[in-house]
Amino acid sequence: MPSSESHDTDRPSSPRWGIKALERAELEALHQATLHVLWHAGVKVEDPPAVDIFEAAGATIERRGTHALVRLPASLVEESIRSAPGTFTLHGRDPKHNFLVRPGATGFTAGYGEHVMVIDIHTGEVRPTVKQDLADITRIQDNLEHVSFAERAACSGDQYPAVQAVHNYDAMVRNTSKHVFLSAGGGDNAKAIVAMAEAVAGGREKLRERPIVTCLVSPTSPLSLVTECTSSMIAAIEGGLNVVFHAMSLSGASSPATPVGVVVQHNAEVLSALVLAQAVRKGVPCIPAFNSTMMDLRRSVAPIGVPELALHGVAGIQLMQYYDLPTWAGACASDSKIPDAQQGYDFTLTAMPAALVGANVIYGIGALESVITFDYAAMIMGAEQAGRIKRIVQGIDLSGLDEAVALIEEVGPGGEYITHDHTFAHMRELSSSSIFDRKARELWERDGSKSAADRAYVEARRILASHEPAPLDDGVTEKLDAILAAREAEARAATA
């Protein structure tokens, strides 16, 4: 339940458990392979302003009509890696939600991108999402203890298409004081989102000091940076925001059918975006995201709750750690259509490795059906599971060793611990549960023999009915309305 504590996973003193999948020499080999790809295969870039920035930074350019082939020399790539910080703060609108990104800090968030369908929280009907859904999901994210920041989990599908992204920010910033992640859908929308964030933060300089929103952009596999991606990125960075590189190849369709090939190509894609970002503003915090999954070449679908997602993610995140860069893992998502047993298995299949490898941001809570549909019960259960996973990653605190030995000796064979002071001092550190059932069967039956998902829907409705997010400062909502209206009018005029 809500707490005002810091949302960092671990105190610096506590040990951290993890996966060390790849050796240093293996990481170096993957790095060299990536540099080879970035030079010999190159990257396709569409938008002339982005091409010019690459050129000025030292890339080799071949202009080919509608796009340019950009080749990145190793020195430029490595210099860009060095100039991007590994430690920085993701600011909340309310500073109590600040999250310090640094090695060992892990936070979860709900939504695997922008879901277009939702299982209605009241009727159970599967239907397209509207702006109010994003407002509701965000309000619940604001309340959940184990959700450290709010990713835009649904699209404002009832709003004017060209400016849905701006409506998304509007719905989110009014409903959470946590840090917000979302994509912009092009430079003009990104500028409007920056203007809204400035209004919320208290001005241009305030936003630059405390960027409260991060822009998500997607390199397109294989090895392409499309105009929407680069124009959003440039406008966001110029406006003072940080960026996430959200590449997502499908192994066997848009990337090789082997994990090693996927990791190298994905790394090349996020590093190409990193080079551009650092050329726009040296030192801008960039979070490379690892979301590459697979193509099921027998069913022609893109499943997400698969071992491949975790394999690609663990390797990619270790590479980023080798570079001292922050990390983001796509995880938690299921291909099930309902919050059932498969959904739970799929969640942990990918969330656990992502946490153990030390991803700074793990997203995907609540995602069903190949990340098309969002579900409230999956979100509530997922947030509780995130807390349990974070506990494992914290590991065992060995500083209590001597005390424990003395205690065991004192209690001795055949004794008991329930009444001991030591138990009293530490019992609150033991895990507890809210949605997940631990009751005796009779009590569970008396409470209606409900499934975890049933209880989770009830909890989601309770939060929606009772939680009030921190209000915006006086006069801010009017400014948001005005910026949104102006951007929408501009977009309507442009398409008319």
**Of the residues 8, 228, 346, 375, which one makes contact with ligand B12 according to CB under 6 A:** 228
272 interacts with ligand B12 by CB under 6 A: no
CA-wise closest residue to 7 among 173, 178, 216: 178
Stretch that binds another protein, among 158-166, 311-319, 391-399, 464-472 (CB under 8 A): 158-166
- Distance, in Å, from the CA atom of 492 to the CA atom of 31, rounded to the nearest integer, reads 46
8 Å CB contact between 44 and 223: yes
Residues between 355 and 394 that touch ligand B12 (CB under 6 A):
370-372
User: Least distance (Å) from ligand B12 to the CB of residue 194?
Assistant: 17
8 Å CB contact between 376 and 456: yes
Element (H, E) at 287: strand 286-290
Mark residues 141-160: x for contact with ligand B12 by CB under 6 A, - for none: --------------x-----
8 Å CB contact between 146 and 439: no
CA-wise closest residue to 45 among 276, 241, 239: 276
- Looking at the Cβ atoms of 250 and 329, the one nearer to ligand B12 is 250
Q: Strand 180-182 relative to strand 213-217: parallel, antiparallel, unpaired?
A: parallel
- Distance, in Å, from the CA atom of 339 to the CA atom of 457, rounded to the nearest integer, reads 10
Report the DSSP beta bridge partners of residue 43. 70
User: Least distance (Å) from another protein to the CB of residue 333?
Assistant: 14
484 interacts with another protein by CB under 8 A: no
148 CB neighbour count, 10 Å cutoff: 28
**Of the residues 177, 254, 267, 336, which one makes contact with another protein according to CB under 8 A:** 254
Across the chain, how many H-helices and E-strands are there? Answer: 17, 20
Stretch that binds ligand B12, among 87-95, 257-265, 299-307, 315-323 (CB under 6 A): 299-307
Question: 283 — alpha (psi -120 to 50), left (phi > 0) or beta?
Answer: left
- Looking at the Cβ atoms of 302 and 357, the one nearer to another protein is 302
112 interacts with ligand B12 by CB under 6 A: yes
Backbone CA torsion sign across 135, 137, 140, 146: negative
What residue has token string 């879901």? 115
**Of the residues 115, 131, 146, 178, which one makes contact with ligand B12 according to CB under 6 A:** 115
Which one of ligand B12, another protein, none is in contact with 161 (Cβ closer than 5 to 8 A by kind)?
another protein
Stretch that binds ligand B12, among 37-45, 214-222, 340-348, 424-432 (CB under 6 A): 214-222
- Distance, in Å, from the CA atom of 273 to the CA atom of 290, rounded to the nearest integer, reads 13
The size of the interface with another protein (CB under 8 A), counted in residues, is 23
**Of the residues 61, 69, 116, 472, which one makes contact with another protein according to CB under 8 A:** 116
126 interacts with another protein by CB under 8 A: no
User: Least distance (Å) from another protein to the CB of residue 282?
Assistant: 28
120 interacts with another protein by CB under 8 A: no
- Phi and psi dihedrals of 64, rounded to 5? -135, 60
Residues between 212 and 241 that touch another protein (CB under 8 A):
220, 226, 228
Which one of ligand B12, another protein, none is in contact with 19 (Cβ closer than 5 to 8 A by kind)?
none
Stretch that binds ligand B12, among 108-116, 267-275, 402-410, 432-440 (CB under 6 A): 108-116
306 interacts with ligand B12 by CB under 6 A: no
- Looking at the Cβ atoms of 199 and 216, the one nearer to ligand B12 is 216
Two tokens, residue 139: 């309000």
**Of the residues 153, 155, 216, 463, which one makes contact with another protein according to CB under 8 A:** 155
**Of the residues 116, 452, 470, 476, which one makes contact with ligand B12 according to CB under 6 A:** 116
CA angle 255, 258, 263 (to 5 degrees): 65
Backbone CA torsion sign across 253, 375, 167, 272: negative
254 interacts with ligand B12 by CB under 6 A: yes
- Distance, in Å, from the CA atom of 484 to the CA atom of 169, rounded to the nearest integer, reads 10
Mark residues 164-193: x for contact with ligand B12 by CB under 6 A, - for none: -------------------x----------
User: Least distance (Å) from another protein to the CB of residue 372?
Assistant: 6
- Distance, in Å, from the CA atom of 349 to the CA atom of 362, rounded to the nearest integer, reads 13
Q: Strand 67-71 relative to strand 60-64: parallel, antiparallel, unpaired?
A: antiparallel
113 interacts with another protein by CB under 8 A: no
In our burial notation (b when 16+ CB lie closer than 10 A, e otherwise), range 376-395 reads bbbbbbbbbbbbebbeebbe
CA-wise closest residue to 233 among 254, 249, 248, 219: 219
What residue has token string 């491949």? 308
**Of the residues 298, 428, 438, 441, which one makes contact with another protein according to CB under 8 A:** 298
Residues making contact with another protein (CB under 8 A) = 116, 128, 155, 157, 161-162, 164, 185, 220, 226, 228, 250, 253-254, 295, 297-302, 370, 372
Residues making contact with ligand B12 (CB under 6 A) = 112-116, 155, 183, 216, 218, 220-221, 228, 246-248, 250, 254, 300-302, 370-372
